[in-house]
Amino acid sequence: MDTYRLIPTEVRDISPLLLDAAGKLRVVPASSLEQTTPQERLLFGVAHGHYGFPTDELVRFLKERIAGRSAIEIGSGNGVLARALGIAATDNRQQEDPAIRAHYEALRQQTVQYGDNVEKLDAAAAVAKFKPSVVVACWVTHKYDPARPEAEGSVTGIDEAQLLEHCDEYIFVGNKHVHRSKPLLARPHELLTPDWLYSRAVNGTPDFIAIWKKAS
């Protein structure tokens, strides 16, 4: 796990920029986030349980890419992006588990605050229920394979190769360093690094959008 040291009193709090009156994450123009620093975004993300920050540009890109096809988001977390896209939001909601919450508390990190629009379904169950043409995911962890420990992952992660067999297109938003070991990246895919993607990553590598299509 990568670790970074921050002194909160020395980093500006950008909560007023990114949270609405109810304390929920807002979709903002990329120009708003352009005025923030990686350290500010990291502090905000850790304090509020957010990893990627949805922008107007990201929402517009995904709507154009989905192009009216049936779609869902897996690993939706706060549900903000799915709501903006007008698609079903799903997540296994594992951070509601008391043991996992305790783990995050020990790390002094906020757990994900799941949106009221987020249905408790793991990725496989979500795809089986909704049968989407397009699956969107942001910052999800792939499933750990004991035969490939170097690929890292999580035992509760997503089997993305299997997922791809049950949809026409899989769109993933992540960070090049954080998600460098994702096995699916070894398969042919479209890779984009637009300047309107923002996250809490502070490792100096770009955030990206990767798109896979089911093999014909």
CATH number at residue 134: 3.40.50
102: enclosing H helix or E strand: helix 98-106
Number of structural domains the chain divides into: 1
Domain assignment of residue 178, given as a range: 8-213
- Does 2 map to a domain? no
Q: What is the pLDDT of residue 126?
A: 98
- Does 42 map to a domain? yes
- Coil/strand/helix, residue 202: coil
Q: What is the pLDDT of residue 215?
A: 75
- pTM for the model: 0.93
- Does 1 map to a domain? no
Q: What is the pLDDT of residue 5?
A: 63
- Does 63 map to a domain? yes
Q: What is the pLDDT of residue 2?
A: 58
125: enclosing H helix or E strand: helix 123-130
- Does 157 map to a domain? yes
- Coil/strand/helix, residue 191: strand
Per-residue pLDDT 10s for the chain (216 aa) are 555 566 677 799 999 999 999 999 999 999 999 999 999 999 999 999 999 999 999 999 999 999 999 999 999 999 999 999 999 999 999 999 988 889 888 888 889 999 999 999 999 999 999 999 999 999 999 999 999 999 999 999 999 999 999 999 999 999 999 999 999 999 999 999 999 999 999 999 999 999 999 875
Judge contact between 72 and 88, C-beta under 8 A. yes
- Does 3 map to a domain? no
Structure tokens at 52: 């990627």
Q: What is the pLDDT of residue 110?
A: 87
Task: At 52, give phi and psi (nearest 5°).
Answer: -110, 150
Q: What is the pLDDT of residue 70?
A: 98
- Diameter of the chain by CA atoms? 54
- Does 87 map to a domain? yes
Alpha-helical regions (H) of the chain: 15-18, 30-33, 38-48, 56-66, 80-85, 98-106, 123-130, 160-164
- Does 53 map to a domain? yes
